[in-house]
Structure 1
C-alpha cells in the first residue's frame, strides 16, 4: 500500500507537493482529522470529487436510515461514499487503482466504515454486493458499447448497452430500499426507438420513481449536465404509474435538507411535477426534468394553448434536418454554396450568408432538398435554441444556392394547411409561447438540442381566417419598420463616416 500511495503522489510536481505539505502542517494544528483527510483527497484526486452541493443532494435524496448498509460503485461515487461512511456501513467499488489505498488509509484514520475494492464496469458479475439497503451508482459517462457478461433482468438482456444504461439497469435493483444512479443528460432526452425501449424498461420493470436534475458543475472540471435516476428498490416497486421530476439544477433554490421530503411529498411544490407514465410514453419516454417542471411563464403559456385549437407542427409543415455538407476532395469539378449560420439571422430575417463552401459536383443531387427557397422557415434546434427566420427574396437573388447550417432545421409549410402562410407560422415560432416550449424541449449533455420527435409534436395554435389576415398585415408592417431601421442605420453610418472625414479637412 505504501508503494501505491507513493506512486500516486509522484504524479504531482514538487511545487504542488510543497503546497500540500504546508497545508497539512497548518491543518494538523487547526483542523480535525476529517478536514485533513478531505483536503488530501480533494487535492490528490480532484477529478474524482463531486461538488459538495451535488453530493449533499444525492445523500439527501437517498434518505438512508442510520446504520444502513450502502453500496457505491465507480469513481465519481467516492465522495458520496466517503460522506455516507460517517454514519453508515459502505462498500465502494472503484476503477482507479491509485485511489483505493489512499481512501482506505484515510477511512481508517477517520474511523469510517468504508470497504473499498478496485473493479471496472466491464468486470461486473452481479455478486459485487449482497444484502444492501441502498445503492449509489455513478457509471462512467459515454462508454457507448459496453462489453458485459452479466445477465440483466428484463427484456434488454443481451442488448448492446452504453455504460450509463448498463449502470441504471444493474444499479436499480441492488438495494432493498431506494437506489440512485447518476447519468448524463443525453441519456434522458434521446427518443430513438432503442433509447425509448430502454427507458420504458426502467419505468415498467425497474421501479423508477423519480428523476432529479443536478446543478451544473456536478462533475469536477466539466460542464456536463447530470441527473439522478431514483429507484424505489427491490422491496418497494413503484406502482403509482407516475414519475416525479424534481428540478435541482439551481442548488440555491432547493434546500438540500428538504430534498428527501420532496421525493416523497404528497403536497404540490413548484420544484417538482408528477407525470403519468402514459404522458411520458407519448413524449417518446423523454425523461428530461425541464420538459415537465415548468417555470411560471411556461405554465402560463401552456394554459393559454390549452384553451385554443392546436395542431402538431408536423401536421402543417414538412420538417427537414440537413445533413452535413460533403467536402471537396480536390479531385473533380466543384460548385459553391452559401451556408446559413446563426449570425445570418436577425429579427426574424435571413440575410445573405457570408460563408461560402466548395462542394463536389456529385453532391448537387444530395443538397437539392435542403436548398432554401422563399417561404422556407429556418429554426435553430442545436446550441442556440429557437432562433427563427423567414427565407425571403435572398434565396432568389443569390447567384449560388443557400443551404442551412447544422444548427437549423427547415420548416416548410404544406399547401392547404390550416395555417395558410409561412409569415404566420414564423411569427408564432418567434413568439414567447413557442420559445418557452422550445426551451423546455431542449436537452443535451453539453450542447443543448431539440429532438426531432419533440419538435414534430410541438403544438401550434390555429388562428381564425380573419385573425390570419390581420396577422399578415401586421407582419408586413413589421417588415416595413425593419427596412426603415436598416435605412436609418445606413444613414447613421454614412453620416458618422462623413463626420470623421471632416476631421482631416484643412479648410
Structure 2
C-alpha cells in the first residue's frame, strides 16, 4: 500500500504551482469519484479547481494518479486515501481526519451494531470503515466540505454511506440506530442554543437563550439524549475535571444517568496527531438501571500504545479498546480500574483517570498512611494562598517575591531574586503573605510538588525587603501542636509523595492542584520519638552539606589561583 501512496504522491508533485498540496488531494478524490459515477457539483470549490486543471497539461499526471488509485481494491483505495490525508494538517481546509488505527479502534467501540450514526468531521473515517463492513451508516456534519469529502471517498471505495449536511446537535435527521459515535470539535463555542433541542439544554440547566455553551458539555448532553444502546462521545481531557461553566453539571448528569459504562483516557496525539490535546472517550450504555461501577482505561499503557521517534504515543496494531471494556482485571494489572459510582460521587463527579487508576507511588503512599495516624493537611497547617501584588514603577516599598526557580538543590528557599515595588495601599496585602522562618512553600501550579523550607535568615522585619511568595505556591504554616516544619518538609519532599500530589493536578495547559484537594491531602503525624529522629537526621544532613560546600569553595579558590584564571582575573581587575 505504501507503493501505491508513493506512486500517487509522485504524480501529484507535478501539480505544484497549479494547486496546493491539499487542493491536489481533493481534486484527485473529486476526479476519481466522478469516474466512479458521482455527479458533478458545479457549485463546489473543488469542482472549480478541477475545471482549472481539466484542460491543462498537468491533468495527465492527475489522470495517472486517479488510474493508480482506482486500479486497487476498495479497501486498498481507502488505505491509500488515509495515507494521503494523514500527511496533511487539514485544519485550514475545515476537515479533521483521523488515521487508520485510531479510527478502527473507535469504530470497533460500536460493537455489533448494524445501524450507526457518526456525527461531526472527525467521525468520518470510522464511518467509512463501518460502511465497508456492510453496516448501515449515516455520517452527519454541519460542514459542507466534510460532507463532500464523505461523498467522494464513499463513492471511490464503493461503500454505501448516508451523508447528511446538518448540525448533529440539532437532531433534525430522522432514523433509528443501534449505536452512535459523536466526535464534536473540542472547545467550540456555541453562541446560541437556538438549534439545540430543549431536552439537551435541560440536561445542562440551560435554555435556548444560552450564550455560554461549548461543544464538549453539549456533546455529553447530546449523547444522553440518544436512545441508542451504545454511544461513544469524545471530549477533551479538561472536560473530565474542570469546574468551568456547565461542565460539572454535564459530568454529574452523565454519572447519575446510570448510562456511563467506561472512560477511556487517550494520550495526546494518539487520535489527533496534529494537536497536543489529550482526550477521553466516553462509552454509554442503554437507558435504565446502569452499572454500579465505571471502568476507567488507560490507553497510554504499553498494551495499547507504543512510542514513536517523535515521542508521541501511537496505537499498537494488535491492541483492542473494545476488549479492554470487558477484560477481567487482576491486582497486578494496572491498565484499568472499575470504580464504584459512589466513589465518583465522593470526588465531586471528577472523571479524570488519575483519580482512580493510581500509579505505584501513590499506592505506596496509601499503604504507608494506612498504618499511621493521619490528618488532613488543613488540620496540621495554616494554608495561605498568595495573591497577585501587581507592580508599581514608582512604588515606595520593595518586596522579594519567591518563584519556583528560587528552590535550589538545598532544602531551604534561597533569597528570592524577584524584586517588586509596591505602593502603601498594597502593603497590607503583602504583609498577609509575608514568609516567616519555618514556613514551607509548596508549588501547586506548574511544577507541582516542589517544596522548600523558609530559612531562619529570611527577611521579616520592616516595611520593605521582606520575603513573600508568588502565585505558583501555597504557603504552609505548621500548627506546632501537630507536626514540626522539618517533619512536614521531609514527608512532602519524598518522591512518592510528590507523585501523589501530581496525581491530583488538573489542567490541559498549566497543571494546578485545587485548594479543596490540597486541604484534604493526608499527612502522617509522627510520634514524639519519630519527630526527634527526623530532626536529628535533618540536622546531620545540613552539617554534612555544609562540609561539602566548604570543600567545593576551596576547590573553586584553588581553580582561581591557577593558570590561566589567575592571570585573567588580574587583567580584568
| TM-score normalised by the chain length of structure 2 | 0.76
Give the stretch that moved more between structures: 150-159 or 465-474: 150-159
Contact 1:298 1:436 in 2 (8 A): yes
Q: Verify: 1:400 aligned to 2:469, yes or no.
A: no
TM-fit CA distance, 1:127: 2.9
Indicate the larger mover: 294-303 or 384-393.
294-303
**Paired residue total:** 489
Q: How has the CA–CA distance of structure 1 residues 146 and 278 changed in structure 2, closer, same or farther, with 3 Å as cutoff? A: farther
The 1-side partners of 2:475 and 2:555 are apart by 35
- 1:208 matched residue in structure 2: 260
Instruction: Work out which of the residue numbers 414, 430, 442 in structure 2 matches 1:379.
Output: 442
Distance (Å, rounded) in 2 between the aligned partners of 1:274 and 1:477: 46
**Within 1, Cα distance between the matches of 2:86 and 2:50?**
13
Q: Which residue in the other structure is 2:132 paired with?
A: 86
Aligned partners of 1:469, 1:9: CA distance in 2, in Å?
A: 82
Structure 2 gap ranges (5+): 1-40, 52-57, 306-315
- Write the mapping of 1:121-270 to structure 2, written as runs, cut at 5 A: 124-128=169-173, 130-143=175-188, 147-149=192-194, 150-152=197-199, 156-158=204-206, 160-190=212-242, 195-205=247-257, 207-217=259-269, 218-234=271-287, 237=288, 239-250=290-301, 253=304, 257-268=319-330, 269-270=333-334
Aligned mates of 2:327, 2:148 — CA distance in 1: 41
1:290 aligns with 2:354: yes
Partner Cα distance (2:64, 2:469) in 1: 55
2:85 aligns with 41
Conserved 8 A contact 2:204-2:221:
no
Per the alignment, do residues 100 and 462 of structure 1 end up closer, same or farther by CA in structure 2, a change over 3 Å counting?
A: same
Distance in 1 between residues matched to 2:548 and 2:125, nearest whole Å: 57
CA distance in 2, matches of 1:257, 1:300: 29
1:87-129 deviations in Å (ceiling 9; x for gaps): 23322233433232122111111122333334457xx323345
Give yes or no for contact 1:172–1:180 (8 Å, CA) kept in 2: no
Which moves more between the two structures, 251-260 or 470-479?
251-260
Secondary structure in 2 matching 1:424: helix
Written as runs of structure 1 = structure 2, the 5 A alignment for 1:7-18 is: none
1:181·1:230 contact (CA, 8 Å) conserved in 2?
yes
Contact (CA 8 Å) 2:217, 2:246: kept in 1 or not? no
1:324-373 deviation digits (Å, cap 9, x = unpaired): 33233x5x645333232221112432111222233444322333322322
Residues of 1 paired with 2:492 and 2:498: CA distance?
Answer: 7
Partner SS state of residue 218, structure 2: helix
Residues 270-308 of structure 1: CA deviation (Å, up to 9, x unaligned): 211111222222222221112211233332332222222
User: Which secondary structure does the structure 1 equivalent of 2:204 belong to?
Assistant: coil
Change (3 A) 1:99 1:351: same
Cα deviation per residue 1:34-86 (whole Å; 9 max; x = unaligned)? 233224433556341235554344334x14216x2222222233333333332
Listed one character per residue, the Cα deviations across residues 409-436 of structure 1 (whole Å, up to 9, x for unaligned) are 22222343x22x1111111111133123
How far does residue 263 in structure 1 lie from its aligned partner after superposition?
0.8
2:428 maps to 1:365: yes
Say yes or no: does 1:318 pair with 2:370.
Answer: no
Counterpart position of 1:308: 372
Partner Cα distance (2:125, 2:422) in 1: 51
Equivalent position of 1:13 in the other structure: none
Q: Per the alignment, do residues 411 and 169 of structure 1 end up closer, same or farther by CA in structure 2, a change over 3 Å counting?
A: same
1:14 alignment partner in structure 2: none
C-alpha distance in structure 2 between counterparts of 1:429 and 1:157, whole Å = 41
| 1:378 match: secondary structure | strand
Q: Distance in 2 between matches of 1:497 and 1:245?
A: 60
Given the superposition, is the C-alpha separation of residues 323 and 338 from structure 1 closer, same or farther in structure 2, using an over 3 Å criterion? Answer: same
Q: Which runs of 5+ in 1 are unaligned?
A: 11-16
Match of 1:472 among 521, 528, 535: 535
Task: Verify the 8 A CA contact 1:211 1:244 in the aligned structure 2.
Answer: yes
* TM-score between both structures, scaled by the size of structure 1: 0.85
1:487-502 correspondence to structure 2 within 5 Å? 487-499=550-562, 500-502=564-566
The answer as to whether partners of 1:225 and 1:446 remain within 8 angstroms in 2 is no
Does the 8 Å CA contact 1:53/1:251 hold for their aligned counterparts?
Answer: no
- Specify the SS of the correspondent of 2:387: coil
Instruction: Give 1:139 deviation, angstroms.
Output: 2.3
Distance, in Å, in 1 between the alignment partners of 2:82 and 2:456 is 64
Distance (whole Å) between structure 2 residues aligned to residue 183 and residue 206 of structure 1: 19
Structure 1 residues 474 and 503 mapped into 2: Cα distance closer, same or farther (>3 Å)? same
Deviations 1:400-459 (A, max 9, x none): 23332332222222343x22x111111111113312311221222233222222222111
* 2:98 corresponding residue in structure 1: 50
Structure-2 separation of matches of 1:135 and 1:327? 53
The structure-2 alpha-carbon separation of the partners of 1:356 and 1:144, relative to structure 1 and needing over 3 Å to count, comes to farther
CA distance in 2, matches of 1:170, 1:190: 19
Deviation of 1:386 after TM superposition, in Å, equals 0.9
CA deviations over 1:219-266 (Å, ceiling 9, x no partner):
2322121111111133xx453322111111246545664321221234
Secondary structure of the residue aligned to 2:443 is strand
Bigger relative contact order, structure 1 or 2 (CA pairs below 8 A, ≥6 apart)? 1
> In the TM superposition, what is the alpha-carbon distance from 1:7 to its structure 2 partner?
6.7
Separation in 2 of the partners of 1:265 and 1:447? 34
What is the SS of the residue equivalent to 2:283? strand
**Aligned to 2:144, what secondary structure does the other structure show?**
coil
- Tell me which moved more, 181-190 or 155-164: 155-164
* Partner SS for 1:319: strand
RMSD: 3.3
Distance apart, 1:468 and its partner CA: 1.2
Pairing 1:343-492 to 2, within 5 Å after superposition: 343-346=405-408, 347-396=410-459, 400-416=465-481, 418-419=482-483, 421-492=484-555
Structure 2 CA distance, aligned partners of 1:63 and 1:120? 21
